[in-house]
A = this chain, B = another copy of it.
Amino acid sequence: MTVVKWEVRAGTYYDSVVLMQLQRGLLGLPGVADAGVAMATPANKDLLAANHLLPENVNANSDDLLIVVKAENDQSANDAIGQVDELLLRRKSSNSPNFFDFRPRSLSAAVKQLPEANWVLVSVPGRYAAGVAREALDLGKHVFLYSDNVSLEDEISLKKTAREKGLLVMGPDCGTAIINGIGLGFANRVRRGSIGVVGASGTGTQAVTAHIHNLGAGISHAIGTGGRDLKSDVGAITAHQALDALARDDETKVIVLISKPPSPDVATGLIAAAQGTGKPVVIYFIGYPPPARKIGNLQFAISLSEAAELAVNGNWELVIERKLPITNYLRGLFSGGTLAYETLLGLQASLSPIYSNAPITTNQLLEDPLRSRAHTIIDLGDEFFMVGRLHPMIDNDLRIRRMKQEAADSEVGMILFDVVLGEGSHPDPAGELVPVIREIREKRLETREPALSRVEGLEFVAVVIGTDDDPQNLQAQIDQLREAGVVVFRTATEAVEYVSLRFVTSKQSYLTPVNLDQLKQPLAAINVGLESFYDSLLSQGAQAVHVEWKPPASGNEKMAALLAKMKSKKEN
C-alpha cells in the first residue's frame, strides 16, 4: 500500500529546469516510489492523474506549483515533502561557477557586459517572452525566440519592428538555428558549407541539416522563422528576410526552404522571392502536394531526407529563357478534367489568386463558370457544360467561343489549352482551333490602343496528348499549332513549369536588409531563459552571457501589472 502526499505553492514562478530537478531529487529519496512536480494546469493535472499522482481533493490552479510524492509509507512521504525547500536550495548552490563571476540580472546589463553580442536567445515563459524580445530589438539585437505561447499580435508587431531595423526575429516557438557555425536552441553539429536553410520547423531543420552533414556537405546558415511565420497574418516576414540574406550571402550556393503548407498568398510571394534569389532553392512544404519536381531554379521535395538529398546532389541545370514576364492573367481552357486539375495543382503555388470551376480548395471556386476572374482554369468537360452536349474533345464549339471571349478581355495575357488526340476525339482539333487563334491574334493587333501598350500581346500555350499512332497525325497537329505561334508541350508537367516561369514577377519586398557582416562575425549571444542553451553556446566556443532572469514581481501578475504601470508613468 502506497501513500500519496502533496504540497501546493501558490503563485510563485519556477523555471522548468528547477521543476525537473526537484522531481528527480524527490525520486531519489528513500521510500519514494514516484513523484510529480508541475504547475497545476488542467493538462498537467491530467498527466498527474494518468500516473496516479493526482490526489482527489487537491485545490490548485494554473498559477500554483503542485508537488506530489507517492511513497511506501506516511513517514517516507512526509520526509520527502519536508525536503522540498532543501532540494530547491541544493539545486541553486550546485550551479557550476561560471566564466563570468557576476551574472547580470537584466538584458541591458548583459549588453554592457558583452557589447559585441548581436544575438539574444529568449526562452522564458511565453507570457514574458514578447517583452524580452522587444527589449532586445530596442537594443539592436537579433532575436532567437524559443518560447511558445506568444500571441500572434506580439509576433506580428515584433517582426514588423525587426524588418524595419534589419533585424531577425526567429520565432516564437523557434527550436533551431545555426548562425555562422553555432547552433542556437536545439541544433546538430554540422560542418560549415554552402547550403543555407530557412526553416519554419525546428526538427525539420535539424533533420535536414543533419542529413546534409551525413551526406558530406555543410551548412552556411540555418535561419529559423517559427511555425506561424508563413501564416497569412504574419506574411512570412522572417522567411523573406532570411531568403534575402541568403541570396546576398556569397558563401550560400543552394538554399533549402522548409515549412508546413503556407497560406496561398504567402506561398506565391515566397516562391516569387525564391525564384528571385537566382540561386538553386529546394522547397519542402510539408504535407503539401508538390506543384512540380522543378520550376526553373526551384525544386520541390516530398520529405525532409529528400530535401537534403536534392540540396546536396540535385541536378541544377539552370537554363532559364528570359522573356519579358507576363503581368496579365492566365486563362486555361481544358477538355481533359485531370489535365485541368493537375495544371491547377501545379500553378496554384505561383499564380494567385487563381480560380476554377473544378477547384482544389474552396476559395478557388469560380462562382460563375461562364465568367473568368484573375487567373482561371476551366474544365470544359465539367457536368455544368455537358447536358445534351458532346464532350469538348469531340466538339470544339464551346472552347472556340470561350477562347474568343477570353481574348476579348485585355487583361488576359495567356490562353492555355489541351489538345487530346486518339480514338473517340475530334479528327482534326488543330484544324479547327488554329484559324480561331490566328483571327484572335490579328484582332488583338488591330485593336491595341496606346493606353494598352503594356499588354504584351497574347500568348497561346497548348498541351498535346497523343501518340504517333493516333488517327489524327500527331506531328501534323503539333506543326499546325506551332505555325500559328502556339507554344506546344507534350505533358502537363512541362507546361506547368513554362507557365509558372512566364508569369513570375519578383515582387519588391520592403525590408531593411539584414547586415550580412553580423552573420559572419564570430557568434556572441546573450541568453535569457533556459540555462542549457547558454551552456551549449559556451561548449561550441561562442561568447555568451546568461541573464539571471526573474519574472517581474517574481511572477506575481498583479504586482507585475502595477510595476509596469508605475514604470510607464515615470517615462511619460
Contact = CB atoms under 8 A, between A and B. Distances in A.
A17 B201 contact: no
B533 A206 contact: no
Contacts of A206: 336, 420, 422, 465
Given A345-B287, A424-B187, A370 B536 contact: no
A536 B423 contact: yes
A469 interface: yes
Contacts of A305: 491-494
A19 interface: yes
A299 to B, nearest CB: 12
A334 to B, nearest CB: 8
Interface string A337-348: 111011001100
A44 B203 contact: no
Contacts of A536: 423-424
A540 B423 contact: yes
Contacts of A16: 388-390, 395
Contact of A337 (B20, B202, B395): B202
Interface stretch (A73-81, A158-166, A397-405, A503-511): A397-405
A186 B420 contact: yes
Given A289-B302, A423-B536, A467-B213, A338 B187 contact: no
A517 interface: no
B370 A44 contact: no
Nearest to A345: B287
B287 A46 contact: no
A465 B422 contact: no
Contact of A466 (B188, B338, B389, B393): B188
Contacts of A467: 188-190, 210, 213-214
A326 interface: no
A532 B303 contact: no
A69 interface: no
A420 B204 CA distance: 11
A398 B47 contact: yes
Interface stretch (A97-105, A241-249, A379-387, A556-564): A379-387
Contact of A39 (B148, B387, B425): B387
B539 A342 contact: no
Interface string A20-51: 10010000000000000011010110110011
A189 B304 contact: no
Interface string A422-454: 111100000000000000000000000000000
A336 B202 CA distance: 8
A207 interface: yes
Interface in A328-375: 335-339, 341-342, 345-346, 360, 369-370
A288 B336 CA distance: 19
B20 A493 contact: no
A233 interface: no
A466 B210 CA distance: 6
A471 to B, nearest CB: 7
B336 A20 contact: no
Contacts of A51: 401
A515 to B, nearest CB: 25
Contacts of A341: 260, 286-287
A185 interface: yes
Interface string A277-300: 000000000111110110000000
Contacts of A23: 397
Contact of A183 (B148, B306, B383, B422): B422
B286 A203 contact: no
A114 to B, nearest CB: 19
A156 interface: no
A409 interface: no
A421 interface: yes
A491 B390 contact: no
Given A149-B387, A303-B492, 13 more contacts: A16-B389, A20-B395, A44-B387, A44-B389, A186-B422, A187-B423, A203-B339, A210-B422, A211-B491, A214-B490, A293-B303, A293-B306, A303-B346
- By Cβ-Cβ distance, the 10 closest A-B pairs, closest first, are A203-B336, A39-B388, A188-B422, A189-B469, A204-B338, A305-B491, A186-B424, A423-B536, A183-B423, A201-B338
26 contacts: A16-B388, A20-B389, A41-B388, A43-B369, A44-B387, A125-B388, A186-B424, A187-B423, A188-B422, A188-B466, A189-B422, A189-B423, A189-B469, A191-B469, A201-B338, A202-B336, A206-B422, A206-B465, A210-B466, A210-B467, A214-B468, A286-B341, A289-B289, A292-B303, A394-B532, A423-B540
